[in-house]
Chain A
Amino acid sequence: DAGVIQSPRHEVTEMGQEVTLRCKPISGHNSLFWYRQTMMRGLELLIYFNNNVPIDDSGMPEDRFSAKMPNASFSTLKIQPSEPRDSAVYFCASSLEGNQPQHFGDGTRLSIL
């Protein structure tokens, strides 16, 4: 079991640039979650997919953020244009079903200068 795989692990870029974070969920899991973690706001759910369909995107901060899940084994979270306040650790998690334990990746530490 390879676990949830996120890339890159670290990203440093200048404000205004496009940032794309990637996630490969555990095979067979049909729910995928994107979270953002900061000291000030803690762990925030950004978006939740079930069977590749976005179910709840109420946590997406604004239109600069978008997420896609083109197939069961891949998802992306894109920020365009990026701003310094987007700096955070972004986690992807997957689960067998939406009410089952979530398996987290190791996160992407994003720094926007």
Chain B
Amino acid sequence: AQSVTQLGSHVSVSEGALVLLRCNYSSSVPPYLFWYVQYPNQGLQLLLKYTSAATLVKGINGFEAEFKKSETSFHLTKPSAHMSDAAEYFCAVTKGTGGFKTIFGAGTRLFVKA
């Protein structure tokens, strides 16, 4: 069975500081990995996706994530936080053969302090 664990339901950083949101997955086969962002009263939007082409994946808004198979991790980072980054972030794993199953993590709410 696959699962996704996001460490920390809330993360608070100062504007300009490094953002690090953690995601660990369990999967018996290499999965498809995604990060999504959700702003208030909106649906989820794709930030970036990993599909085995490269271990370091760049996404929108300056975010990137690194796939580490040995650690089964796919942490999301951004060098310098901006106030507009305040939102909820979801890590997701998709795998399957003949029918795909996507599991979302519980989400991490990012607060950015001025």
A binds B: yes
- Asked if residues A104 and B102 are in contact (CB atoms below 8 Å), the reply is no
With A and B bound together, what is the CA distance between A93 and B44 in angstroms?
Answer: 9
- Asked if residues A42 and B107 are in contact (CB atoms below 8 Å), the reply is yes
- Asked if residues A101 and B107 are in contact (CB atoms below 8 Å), the reply is no
Number of interface residues of B (CB under 8 A): 21
With A and B bound together, what is the CA distance between A47 and B53 in angstroms?
Answer: 29
With A and B bound together, what is the CA distance between A97 and B46 in angstroms?
Answer: 15
- Asked if residues A98 and B94 are in contact (CB atoms below 8 Å), the reply is yes
- Asked if residues A99 and B94 are in contact (CB atoms below 8 Å), the reply is yes
- Asked if residues B107 and A104 are in contact (CB atoms below 8 Å), the reply is no
- Asked if residues B90 and A43 are in contact (CB atoms below 8 Å), the reply is yes
Contact of B45 with A by CB under 8 A: yes
5 smallest CB-CB distances across A and B, nearest first, come from A104-B43, A98-B100, A101-B46, A104-B44, A43-B104
Give A contacts to B, CB under 8 Å. Answer: 4, 31, 33, 42-43, 45, 48, 50, 55-56, 91, 93, 97-99, 101-107
Give B contacts to A, CB under 8 Å. Answer: 32, 34, 41-46, 49, 90, 94-96, 99-104, 106-107
